[in-house]
Structures are given as C-alpha cells and as structure tokens.
C-alpha cells in the first residue's frame, strides 16, 4: 500500500506561517532542495489543500522554463508538471485542470482508495488545514517536519485543530547547514 507522507516547515515554536501568512522566515539551501528531491523521486502523487494548490499552480507550471531557473526550479517544476495532483476542496471544480483530481467529500474513503492504488508514495506539502483534517482521520503515515531556527511567537499553528492523540516513532533526523533540522516520524 502507498504511504501518505506529510512535509511541513515549522518554526521552533510550532508555527507554519506568520500572523499574516508570511513564510519568508523559512530557511532553504541546495542540500535541503536536493534532499526533498530524493523524496519526490519516490512519489508519483502530490496532495494539496486548495490554498496551497493555488499557490503552487501560480508558480511551478512554468518555473522550469524561466531563463534564470535554478536547478531546484527545473527539477521540481518538471516533477510538478508530471506528477498526479490531488486537491482537497469543496470550492474548486477539476474541469480544465491538468493532471489534477479534486476530492470534495468522503475524505477518508477517497484517500484510502488512493493509497490502495498501485504506485509510489503520496506527498502532502504544507497545506496545514488539509493536513490537520487528514491527521484527525488517521490517514497520514509518515511526517517530515523541517524545524527552522526561529521563534515566531504567533501565527498559523502547525497542529491547531487536532482532535485526538497520534503516537509517533522517530525514524531519523537530519540537519542542514542552513540551520534546519528535519525530523522524520511514522505513525504507530
């Protein structure tokens, strides 16, 4: 069975965005981009909430074609354009969307069907609201939390609307020169 793997940058105090949605505090470097590239190589489906999907659609479809595109922009842009995308939304219509399926109801049933299909892993990048819904339903199998060396004090909380306890087992940690510590957990 395919795994649903959650990727999220967070501040040390557990925020995924500043009070106005800012994410300019996230530290990135080539080593971190290369590492995430190894994860995307092991996946063939990207899952997003509506807001994150719309942000991704605003950048990645043409990122690899830009004259000043970085190695990461080229690699991730090509991956994004080829990967199957699933959007959790009750307001988007999938008509006209490229390689994209919209799930608007029966979240647990639809995600479990997706996980049972042949293929590689399913990655969910960001999408804190959608991720919290998936976590509350017990659908996330693994977590990669990228803890950034900053305390925001306020903002959008990583696990603001969690309704139960989820026991996790630490599988590995990785540190990056940009100061980010990656924590890899699996659901027990």
Segments making up each domain of the chain, as ranges: 4-153+168-187
pLDDT tens digits, residue range 5-15?
999 999 999 99
Instruction: Identify the band that residue 33 occupies on the pLDDT scale cut at 50, 70 and 90.
Output: very high
pLDDT at 160 over 90: no
Q: What is the pLDDT of residue 79?
A: 95
- Residue 154: Cβ within 10 Å count: 10
Q: pLDDT, tens digit, for every residue of 95-118?
A: 989 899 999 999 999 999 999 999
End-to-end CA separation in angstroms for the chain: 16
Q: Between vectors from CA 120 to CA 185 and to CA 117, what angle results, nearest 5°? A: 110
Q: What pLDDT sits at residue 94?
A: 87
Has residue 3 got a pLDDT over 90? yes
Helix (H/G/I), strand (E/B), else coil: 120: coil
pTM of this prediction? Answer: 0.93
Q: What is the pLDDT of residue 10?
A: 97
User: Residue 146 in contact with residue 182, Cβ under 8 Å?
Assistant: yes
Higher pLDDT, 170 or 96: 170
The CA-atom distances, in angstroms, between 2 and each of 25, 92, 118 are: 32, 25, 7
CA distance linking residue 188 with residue 179, whole number of Å:
28
- Cα 78 to chain centroid distance, Å, stands at 17
| Pairwise CA distance, residues 134 & 88, whole Å | 10
pLDDT of 84 > 90? The answer is yes
Q: Would you call 37 exposed, middle or buried from its count of C-beta atoms within 10 A (0-12, 13-18, 19+)?
A: middle
Banded model confidence at residue 126, pLDDT cuts 50, 70, 90 = confident
Are 69 and 55 contacting, i.e. CB atoms less than 8 angstroms apart? no
In the prediction, which pLDDT does 69 show?
95
Residue 49: closest CA among 4, 98, 104, 9: 104
User: CA–CA distance from 39 to each of 32, 42, 188 (Å)?
Assistant: 11, 5, 21
The percent of residues above 90 in pLDDT, for the chain, comes to 90
The CATH architecture of the domain made up of 4-153+168-187 is 3-Layer(aba) Sandwich (3.40)
Instruction: Indicate the DSSP class of residue 87.
Output: E
């Amino acid at each position: 069975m395919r795994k649903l793997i959650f990727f999220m940058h967070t501040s040390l105090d557990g925020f995924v965005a500043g009070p106005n949605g800012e994410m300019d505090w996230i530290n990135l470097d080539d080593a971190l981009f290369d590492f995430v590239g190894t994860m995307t190589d092991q996946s063939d489906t990207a899952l997003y909430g509506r807001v994150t999907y719309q942000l991704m659609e605003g950048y990645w479809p043409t990122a690899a074609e830009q004259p000043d595109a970085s190695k990461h922009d080229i690699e991730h842009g090509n991956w994004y354009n080829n990967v199957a995308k699933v959007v959790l939304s009750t307001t988007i219509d999938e008509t006209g969307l490229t390689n994209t399926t919209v799930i608007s109801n029966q979240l647990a049933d639809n995600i479990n069907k997706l996980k049972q299909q042949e293929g590689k892993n399913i990655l969910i990048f960001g999408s804190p609201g959608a991720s919290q819904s998936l976590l509350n339903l017990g659908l996330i199998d693994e977590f990669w939390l990228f803890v950034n060396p900053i305390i925001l004090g306020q903002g959008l909380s990583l696990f603001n609307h969690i309704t139960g306890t989820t026991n996790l087992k630490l599988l590995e940690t990785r540190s990056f020169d940009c100061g980010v510590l990656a924590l890899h957990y699996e659901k027990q």
